[in-house]
């Protein structure tokens, strides 16, 4: 098996596929059971791609001693043996060597000897107050300072670690098909405020270097900012408030900083394997901070991915918005969906319905795969890894004895459905006719707004405008696209009938020209706020003439789904659910994803190319259906949610013909065969 990543899609042996994987933390388990657990994932879950972190502190606990990848110092460190076992069982692996991994491991997986408290040569990561950014865990609840990623001493140690992984673990033929670096930003920090880091000396040096690259001369910088600096070294990033351009610069610096860390760490591994990252989704208060920082367009050969960990989507509108935004930000897989943790996060995850709902939502919104995190319960790890008691996690598809739990059949059904139809699913085009255009300088400005609310007169905004747009579209039952305007092409915009952009005083001339050309071609530009009158240098430039109206059009606006006009309405006719439809560009094939909200009672009625389809699924659960040639084909519908005490006969009805379970439970049909 050879995996490439093309525009966020895993291409396996030349064929695009929905990447379905399961995480197994080998380092938390007895090596004697590795083979049994891997077979359980392969045979019980129907998954053939394993993901696993390689904790640096586990393999190299002592400074000056080479990492142990063969089990010489402890059997659980024999990762080369683990990978060989994966290969023997026909499994492929996405290896995740950090260097920071989180994963509930002490110090996020960093060895104690890289802590600035342990080695004064290692520069600490600093926030806007000059205080060290700390990582708290069970071992040190007060937290330990984190190393500054770009500081020479720490970077040298990271480079040595990743180079050792590349040479001793990844090199040569084997089961590893892709590499994931970092964790949810750098230190699970992708969604933190822009003021949380990096005001360390190495971070400030990077910032000033970027300013020189952007402005060229100190005179040009002063002219743009209305300042009179006589030395680049006197320029400091803002904390809160200040000039619009200074705030936009710090947001842009964060984006390039993250790109630089990714570049250096990927380069250090010295591998030709595809490289992925797993961004944590934004929090609502820090949405602008996340948008300013997370710019996959800058990452070169590093591919976007994201994680879950944000709340129960079926019950929490804010969590749903954050989840959808993360899935739409760029093409890529959901690399950690919570299928195993109930006690640690939320009791709703005790039932498979919650994870089923969220895995499907990610794919419907734009993700190209999902990961079962974690697939197997483990026990018996060393205390220097994690002081908590096992098992880890508490409610996965495969328990600590290696037996399948009630979640296993649900995972197997989803994995089987996308093994059969994933390539076709990816070929199908989502029914999206409207888009939101991200103008990310506004995100940096809003993230560093002063005491006043972002959006006050003179204060541009991006995140709040995006959330408002998302809420309007969701209320109308309409899907949408997300476009980054500074890198977008006219062809990308032309795919939509409207593009909504955040308003503000300035906008890059190239972006204004792009939007004007889009409007000349028949598109409608909707501006949430004042239309810009200046370019990025604050010179006069007013090329955008906003259209009037709302995204989604009106009842009279024609909208085509599957070649049939259905007006300007959404897909859901009745019932409390979100629904997404995608259609094949050349064949009469469609995929319908139905996501039932918590609290719904009764069936969900849906507008489709074949007329009204009615789906019965448990509240908080959902369904995925393949529609072809006028009929409903393969499907997976979850009819149970024990957490909500909901059990229904999962089923679907079209033209008065019902296909359903014979009693309360799920309905699964794959390759035309019904599964009990």
Chain-centroid distance, C-alpha 102 = 16
Residue 2 is predicted with a pLDDT of 79
My answer on whether 172 and 184 are in the same domain is: yes
* pLDDT attached to residue 451: 64
Give the C-alpha separation, 450 to 195, whole Å.
12
Please write the tens of the pLDDT for every residue from 486-504.
999 999 999 999 999 999 9
Residues 86 and 99 in one domain: yes
Cβ atoms of residues 514 and 540 within 8 Å: no
The verdict on residue 548 lying in a domain is: no
Q: Which long-range contacts (CB under 8 A, 24 or more apart) does 29-33 make?
A: 29/76, 29/376, 29/378, 29/379, 29/380, 29/381, 30/76, 30/379, 30/380, 31/71, 31/75, 31/76, 31/78, 31/81, 31/82, 33/402
The reported pLDDT for the residue numbered 552 is: 75
Tell me the pLDDT tens digit for each residue of 62-120.
Answer: 999 999 999 999 999 999 999 999 999 999 999 999 999 999 999 999 999 999 999 99
Last residue of a domain, one of 528, 553, 578: 528
* Beta-strand pair 429-430/367-373: unpaired
Q: Describe the chain by its helix, strand, coil percentages, rounded to 5.
A: 30, 25, 45
For position 553, what pLDDT does the model report?
A: 61
Query: Is residue 629 scored above 70 in pLDDT?
Result: yes
Which stretches does DSSP call E strand in 293-393? 302-303, 306-307, 332-338, 367-373
Rounded to the nearest integer, the mean pLDDT of the chain is 94
Q: How many domains does the chain have?
A: 3
Is the pLDDT assigned to residue 560 strictly greater than 70? Answer: no
309 is a domain residue: yes
Decide if 556 is inside a domain: no
pLDDT of residue 172: 83
Q: What is the pLDDT of residues 389-405, one digit of tens each?
A: 889 999 999 999 999 99
475 and 423 within one domain: no
Domain boundary among the residues 378, 407, 429 is at 429
The answer to whether residue 665 sits within a structural domain is yes
DSSP state of 431: -
Residues 313, 341 within the same domain:
yes
Please determine, for residue 457, whether its predicted confidence score (pLDDT) is greater than 50: yes
Q: Which domain holds residue 373?
A: 3-115+155-196+265-429
Parallel, antiparallel, or unpaired for β 667-670 and 657-660?
unpaired
Residues 27-56: tens digit of each pLDDT: 999 999 999 999 999 999 999 999 999 999
CATH number of the CATH domain containing 8 = 3.20.20.80
Q: Provide the pLDDT confidence category of residue 676 given band limits of 50, 70 and 90.
A: low
pLDDT at 551: 87
Residues 157-179 have a mean pLDDT of: 96
Identify the band that residue 566 occupies on the pLDDT scale cut at 50, 70 and 90: very low
Q: Is the dihedral of CA 431, 427, 52, 413 positive or negative?
A: positive
Give the mean pLDDT of 441-456. Answer: 80
H, E, C per residue of 151-216: CHHHHHHHHHHHHHHHHHHHCCCCCEEEEEECCCCCCCCCCCCCCCCCCCHHHHHHHHHHHHHHHC
Domain boundary among 466, 501, 528: 528
Does the structure show a pLDDT above 70 at 291? yes
Residue 230 belongs to a domain: no
Say if residue 324 is in the same domain as residue 398: yes
> 296-338: per-residue pLDDT in tens?
999 999 999 999 998 999 999 999 999 999 999 999 999 999 9
- Mean pLDDT score, 430-445: 97
Do 477 and 339 lie in one domain? The reply is no
Together in a domain, 49 and 161: yes
DSSP state letter for 378: B
Q: Return the pLDDT at 563.
A: 47
With respect to residue 563, please indicate whether it lies within any of the assigned structural domains.
no
352 and 416 assigned to the same domain: yes
Stated pTM of the model = 0.96
Q: Which of 147-156, 378-387, 659-668 has the lowest mean pLDDT?
A: 378-387
Helix (H, G, I), strand (E, B) or coil at 644: helix
Residue 449, in any domain of the structure: yes
Confidence (pLDDT) at 452: 59
Which CATH number characterizes residue 435's domain?
3.40.50
**pLDDT digit string, tens, across residues 543-558:** 999 998 888 765 434 4
Pairwise CA distance, residues 544 & 518, whole Å = 10
Residue 367 lies in a domain: yes
Per the CB < 8 A criterion, the answer to whether 610 and 391 are in contact is: no
Residues 161, 301 within the same domain: yes
pLDDT over 50 at 439, yes or no: yes
Q: Are residues 401 and 422 in the same domain?
A: yes
443 and 425 in one domain? no
More confident residue, 418 or 12: 418
In the block, residue with structure tokens 């880091």: 197
The secondary structure of 400-432 as a DSSP string is TTS-B-HHHHHHHHHHHHHHHHHHHHHHSEE-E
Please check the confidence at residue 565 and state whether its pLDDT lies above 50: no
Q: For the residues 505-525, what does the mean pLDDT come to?
A: 97
Same domain? 402 vs 467: no
């Amino acid at each position: 098996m050879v995996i490439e990543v093309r525009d966020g899609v895993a291409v396996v042996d030349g064929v695009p596929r929905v990447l379905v994987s399961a995480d197994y933390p080998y380092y938390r388990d007895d090596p004697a059971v590795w083979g049994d657990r891997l077979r359980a994932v392969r045979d019980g879950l129907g998954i053939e791609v394993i993901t696993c972190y390689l904790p640096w502190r586990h393999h190299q606990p002592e400074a000056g001693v080479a990492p142990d990848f063969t089990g010489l110092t402890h059997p659980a460190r024999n990762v080369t043996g683990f990978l060989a076992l994966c290969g023997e069982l026909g499994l492929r692996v996405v290896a995740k060597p950090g260097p920071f991994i989180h994963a509930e491991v002490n110090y996020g997986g960093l060895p104690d000897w890289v802590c600035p408290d342990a080695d004064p040569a290692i520069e600490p990561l600093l926030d806007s107050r000059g205080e060290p950014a700390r990582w708290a865990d069970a071992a040190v609840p007060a937290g330990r300072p984190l190393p500054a990623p770009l500081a020479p001493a720490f970077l040298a140690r990271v480079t040595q670690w990743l180079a050792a992984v590349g040479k001793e673990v990844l090199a040569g033929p084997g089961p590893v098909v892709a590499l994931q670096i970092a964790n949810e930003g750098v230190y699970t920090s992708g969604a933190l405020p822009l003021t949380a880091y990096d005001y360390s000396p190495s971070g400030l040096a990077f910032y000033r270097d970027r300013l020189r690259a952007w402005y060229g001369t100190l005179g040009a910088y002063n002219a743009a900012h209305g300042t009179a600096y006589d030395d680049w070294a006197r320029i400091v990033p803002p904390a809160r408030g200040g000039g619009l351009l200074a705030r936009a610069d710090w947001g842009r610096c964060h984006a390039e900083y993250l790109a630089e860390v990714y570049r250096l760490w990927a380069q250090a591994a010295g591998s030709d394997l595809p490289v992925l990252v797993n961004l944590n989704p934004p929090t609502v208060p820090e949405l602008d901070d996340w948008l300013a920082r997370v710019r996959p367009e800058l990452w070169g050969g590093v591919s976007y991915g994201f994680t879950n960990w944000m709340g129960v989507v079926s019950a929490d509108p804010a969590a749903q918005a954050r989840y959808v935004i993360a899935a739409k930000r760029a093409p890529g897989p959901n690399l950690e969906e919570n299928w195993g943790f109930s006690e640690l996060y939320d009791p709703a995850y005790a039932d498979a319905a919650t994870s089923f709902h969220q895995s499907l939502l990610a794919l419907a919104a734009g993700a190209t795969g999902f990961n079962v995190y974690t697939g197997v319960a483990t026990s018996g790890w060393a205390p220097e890894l994690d002081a908590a008691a096992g098992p880890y996690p508490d409610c996965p598809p495969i328990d600590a004895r290696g037996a399948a739990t009630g979640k296993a059949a649900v995972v197997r059904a989803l994995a089987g459905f996308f093994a059969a139809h994933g390539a076709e699913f990816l070929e199908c085009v989502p029914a999206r006719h409207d888009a939101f255009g991200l103008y990310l300088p506004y995100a940096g400005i809003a993230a560093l707004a002063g005491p006043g609310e972002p959006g006050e007169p003179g204060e541009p905004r991006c995140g709040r405008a995006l959330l408002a747009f998302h809420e309007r579209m969701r209320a109308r039952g309409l899907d949408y696209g997300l476009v980054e305007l500074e890198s977008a092409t006219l062809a990308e915009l032309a795919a939509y009938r409207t593009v909504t952009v955040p308003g503000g005083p300035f906008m890059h001339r190239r972006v204004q020209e792009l939007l004007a050309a889009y409007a000349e071609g028949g598109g409608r530009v909707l501006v949430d706020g004042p239309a810009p009158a200046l370019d990025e240098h604050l010179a006069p430039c007013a090329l955008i003439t906003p259209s009037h109206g709302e995204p989604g059009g009106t009842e009279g606006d024609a909208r085509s789904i599957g070649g049939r006009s259905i007006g300007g309405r959404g897909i859901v006719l009745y019932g409390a659910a979100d629904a997404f439809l995608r259609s094949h560009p050349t064949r009469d094939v469609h995929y319908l994803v139905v996501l039932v909200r918590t609290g719904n009672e009764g069936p969900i009625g849906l507008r489709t190319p074949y007329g009204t389809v009615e789906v019965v699924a448990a509240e908080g659960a959902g369904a995925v259906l393949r529609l072809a040639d006028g009929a409903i084909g393969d499907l997976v519908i979850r009819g149970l949610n024990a957490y909500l005490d909901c059990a229904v006969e999962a089923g679907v009805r079209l033209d008065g013909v019902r296909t359903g379970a014979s009693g309360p439970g799920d309905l699964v049909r794959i390759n035309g065969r019904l599964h009990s």
